[in-house]
Homo-oligomer: A and B are copies of this chain.
């Protein structure tokens, strides 16, 4: 089959690799219908994260089950499925608590699986899914192709935005600021709107993203950054700062900006993957009694929560996909997203 392999900075190639097969009785084999490129894939692409040896890449997909192992009970061949960006067993203590991203048998597509072996990437034709019963979300019926992008958004970007909103304790009528206008930040705006936030300030400097932020429910847009951005938000809110801030970037600068617009006792939810391991100083938190929470979203249970709204057409998270390319041109997707010519690009195998 064809699969995307990253070799190093600005070097992703679509190569012929062996077809995956069922290896464990709990595996499923999925034919990928749609995949996409994530902001975190770009770190390796831009060389901000090392690629010591070539590896498959991509961790978001929807598709159709081709074959299942003998112990798989919840999905069967022919079933259309959504995959969260990690696999999880669904049975350990953390999964039972709803924290599938801390599963005892966690694996991230394109990275190491629970057994330490390399997992397949999602920017490919097929993928082997360990712990299929715990991992895959079967749809009741085959969706329309026109709905694929909304369903694909459930793999990572919407659950991650939703996680930011949950961690930031977004409540009915609350005031929310979203830091970061990537696909995750925009999804955070949508998630905050869905949870009933009264006012949502999107911090964004790019017109296309500002437009989508408003479509997703932003009531205000602030296009300054850093200290200027903090001052602009304070002006806008009349000194009453945000109850909830969604930090969707992952740098020390964006953390500082986030804390700068948070009211005393407010909640910061952070989901921006910390590329450089930013530090939070207790001295900046302590005087204000801030609440902080964040990390890798437990996408699996969130898909259950979010899917009905997608199927009913109440939300259209797939609007973050403003471009689409065939698998053979996946390199273009990386380049367009790196150049910010695309918010998020869908890939069709």
Chain A residues with a Cβ under 8 A of chain B: 93-94, 97, 99, 101-102, 167, 240, 250, 255, 264-265, 270, 273-274, 277-283, 285-296, 298
| Chain B positions within 8 Å of A286 at CB level | 270, 273-274, 294-296
Task: Give 10 closest A-B pairs by Cβ, nearest first.
Answer: A102-B264, A289-B295, A277-B283, A279-B279, A291-B293, A274-B282, A99-B265, A280-B280, A286-B295, A292-B292
| Beta-carbon contact of B282 and A277 below 8 Å | yes
Besides A93-B240, A102-B264, A285-B294, 9 new A-B residue pairs in contact (Cβ under 8 A), listed by A number: A99-B264, A101-B289, A274-B283, A280-B280, A285-B292, A285-B295, A288-B295, A289-B294, A289-B295
Copies of this chain present:
2
Whether A296 lies near B290 (C-beta < 8 A) is no
Of the candidates B101, B292, B294, the one whose C-beta lies within 8 Å of that of A293 is B292
With both chains docked as a complex, state the minimum distance between the C-beta of A186 and any C-beta of chain B, in angstroms: 21
CB-nearest residue of chain B to A163:
B289
Task: Report the minimum CB–CB distance from A261 to chain B (whole Å).
Answer: 15
Bound Cα distance from A293 to B280, whole angstroms: 12
CA distance A338 to B283 in the complex (A): 24
A239 nearest CB neighbor, chain B only: B93
* B99, A289: Cβ atoms closer than 8 Å: yes
A184: shortest Cβ distance to chain B, in Å?
A: 14
Contacts A94-B265, A264-B94; A102 near B282 (Cβ below 8 A): no
A270 and B282 form a contact (CB under 8 A): yes
Complex interface: chain B residues within 8 A of A240 (CB)? 93
Min Cβ gap A55→B in Å is: 20
Residues of B within 8 A of A285 (CB): 292, 294-295
Report B-chain residues with C-beta under 8 Å of the C-beta of A278: 281-282
A94 to chain B: which residues have CB within 8 Å?
Answer: 264-265
Please name all residues of chain B whose beta carbon is closer than 8 Å to the beta carbon of A279 when the two chains form the complex.
279-282
